[in-house]
Amino acid sequence: MNTIAMKFPGRRQHKHYFPVENKTPLTNKVNSEPKLARSYIVGIDQILVDIEAKVDDEFLTEFSLKRGMSQVITDEVTHRLYQRLKDEQLINYEFAGGTIGNTMHNYSVLADDRSVLLGVMSKNMQVGDYAYRFVSNTSSRVDLNYLQPVDGPIGRCFTLIDDTGERTFAINAGLINKLKPESIDESLISNAAALVISSYLMRTEEGDTMTQATLKAVECANKAGVPVVLTLGTKFLIEKEPEFWRKFVKDHVNILAMNEDEAQAITGITDPLKAADACLDWVDLVICTAGPEGLFMAGYVDEQHKRATEYPLLSGAIADFNRYEYSRPMLLKDCVNPVRIYTHTAPYMGGPDNIKNTNGAGDAALAAVLHDLSANVYHKMNVDDSSKHLQPAMTYSSLSQISKYANRVSFEILMQHSPRLSRGLPEREDSLEQAYWAL
Ligand SMILES: Nc1ncnc2c1ncn2[C@@H]1O[C@H](COP(=O)(O)OP(=O)(O)OP(=O)(O)O)[C@@H](O)[C@H]1O
Ligand SMILES: O=c1[nH]cnc2c1ncn2[C@@H]1O[C@H](CO)[C@@H](O)[C@H]1O
């Protein structure tokens, strides 16, 4: 089948995509030093290495770990747990992790462009230790220059996979929560295309400064009109304080990413489409992954910019919900007559025959959405007079297109062990219908 590649304006691909640099008629060469402005995104994380191991239910019980949850464990439990995993040779791999660390890495791989990761890093690093491993397993496109040095270890996240494929996280925190508000560079945040955070950043102890650092970054982004993107991390954190999270999301967040369990925890609604719709009362754009059911997205468009889909209309909890999925989503404040838009994408090719591990599939979907969002900022910075920007949209592509891209990236993660991509998507895929990639 004849296919065309998904092309975004980015440093590597822009010249195929839109001619912002024309050849000089005299030399017939493209100016060798194009002075294009660049967009980037910033993420904050608890800097962690994942230690993945296959375990059974008894193992979880022995260490009093709650299945499916991300929980913090003491140094003493860590020591015993690590020893058991080593003695029984249960460890599959040790690799850089962290929900936002993974998202920044995947964004940089997909966009072939810069993201900035904020957090802490051991100031004394030895070849082979966890800090070293984190740095060496992170894309060179992720800017680590703003990490705050600390005198001690980064964190470890035991990623324990049981027979059903469910993952339980046990976190040994090290100094991950010692990021200080002073380490947040305000101009770095206020010039970014987006600020990306997770609910885990609020899980701190007395004396930790991570939460204050995060709140400072969020306030700075809010003030500068930089979209704040929150991923909900794990439902148990949300269930503990749903009222706090609803208020935080309403007051500070523009884009909310979650899976269906987290969506239920924050809205009380089981149906992922209805839950996504409920979240539109608080935010501008919603990404809700739903495992084997695929991906739902919801957003806003102004009446004058809405575009009707060419796909068959779908009905679920909301009738004909995908009617305007061809629209490019907008901030609610930029809509004179806001219309709610929704889309759904079923797992790419029905999902892989053999799912290695679903860990990080949701983070990867978010990385794809961020790629589209920053592509829009990049294009606007360089070709502001393009007719494309007559509509003050948040993203480069339509809701439908972004959702397909995100779902495609999730598929890639399901086929591998690590939550981090090792390469971008293929430019051409014969198995893809043209409509899947066409703009
Ligand atoms: N069993 C499955 N079959 C087919 N596709 C799946 C399956 N599980 C996940 N997916 C795909 O991966 C995407 C994300 O999955 P999921 O909802 O499990 O993310 P998540 O729970 O947020 O993951 P994480 O928190 O580990 O990043 C889904 O939207 C879907 O496209
Ligand atoms: O408490 C936490 N803080 C930051 N990241 C976490 C925490 N618990 C789990 N993950 C991260 O979530 C990723 C998959 O989505 C894993 O790679 C793991 O490192």
Give the separation between CA 434 and CA 427, rounded to whole angstroms. 12
412 assigned to a ligand binding site: no
- Token pair for 352: 């892989």
Q: For residue 267, how many other CB atoms are within 10 A of its CB?
A: 23
- Residue 44's pLDDT band, with cuts at 50, 70 and 90, is very high
Pairing status of strand 142-143 against strand 115-118 = parallel
Q: Whose CA is nearest to atom 15 of ligand 1?
A: 291
Q: What CATH number should be reported for the domain holding residue 336?
A: 3.40.1190.20
Q: Does any domain span residue 128? A: yes
Please name the helix (run of DSSP H) or strand (run of DSSP E) that holds residue 83, with its range, or none: helix 75-87
Q: Does any domain span residue 161? A: no
Q: Which of 49, 99, 197, 262 to mutate to test the pocket of ligand 2 (most atoms within 8 A of CB)?
A: 99
Q: Does any domain span residue 314? A: yes
359 CA closest ligand 1 atom index: 26
User: What pLDDT score does 357 carry?
Assistant: 73
Q: Using CB atoms within 10 Å of the CB of residue 405, give its burial: 0 to 12 exposed, 13 to 18 middle, 19+ buried.
A: buried
Alpha-carbon 377 to chain mean position: 17
* Contact in structure between 92 and 53 (CB atoms under 8 Å): yes
Q: Does any domain span residue 204? A: yes
The whole-model pTM stands at 0.91
Structural domain count, the chain: 1
Ligand 1 contact via 234 beta carbon (within 6 Å): no
Could you give phi then psi for residue 342, rounded to 5 degrees? -140, 155
**Rounded distance from Cα 121 to ligand 1 centre (Å):** 30
Q: Does any domain span residue 74? A: no
Give the separation between CA 54 and CA 90, rounded to whole angstroms. 6
Give just the sign of the alpha carbon dihedral 325, 329, 335, 341.
positive
98 assigned to a ligand binding site: yes
* 287 half-sphere exposure, CB direction, 13 A CA radius: 30
Nearest to 237 by CA among 245, 226, 228: 245
> What percentage of the chain reaches a pLDDT higher than 90?
78
Q: Whose CA is nearest to atom 20 of ligand 1?
A: 362
**Rounded distance from Cα 304 to ligand 2 centre (Å):** 41
Nearest bound ligand to the CA of residue 202: 2
User: What are the residues whose beta carbons fall under 8 Å from the beta carbon of 204, sequence distance 6 or more?
Assistant: 177, 210, 211
Pairing status of strand 194-198 against strand 167-172 = unpaired
DSSP of 344-395: EEPPGGGS-SS----TTHHHHHHHHHHHHHHHHHHHHHH-TTSGGGGS--SS
Q: At residue 391, does pLDDT exceed 90?
A: yes
> What is the domain extent for residue 324?
14-29+38-48+98-155+174-437
Q: At residue 3, does pLDDT exceed 60?
A: no
- Token pair for 234: 């794990």
* Contact in structure between 43 and 118 (CB atoms under 8 Å): yes
Q: Does any domain span residue 216? A: yes
99 assigned to a ligand binding site: yes
User: What pLDDT score does 356 carry?
Assistant: 74
* Contact in structure between 330 and 394 (CB atoms under 8 Å): yes
User: What average pLDDT does the structure give for the chain?
Assistant: 91
pLDDT, tens only, 116-154: 999 999 999 999 999 999 999 999 999 999 999 999 999
pLDDT, tens only, 81-120: 999 999 999 999 899 999 999 999 999 999 999 999 999 9
User: What pLDDT score does 4 carry?
Assistant: 38
Give the separation between CA 286 and CA 7, rounded to whole angstroms. 23
Pocket of ligand 2 (CB under 6 A): 45-46, 48, 50, 70, 97-99, 102, 157, 169, 171, 200, 359-360, 363, 419
- Residue 340's pLDDT band, with cuts at 50, 70 and 90, is very high
**Rounded distance from Cα 435 to ligand 2 centre (Å):** 34
Give the separation between CA 46 and CA 93, rounded to whole angstroms. 20
Q: Does any domain span residue 56? A: no
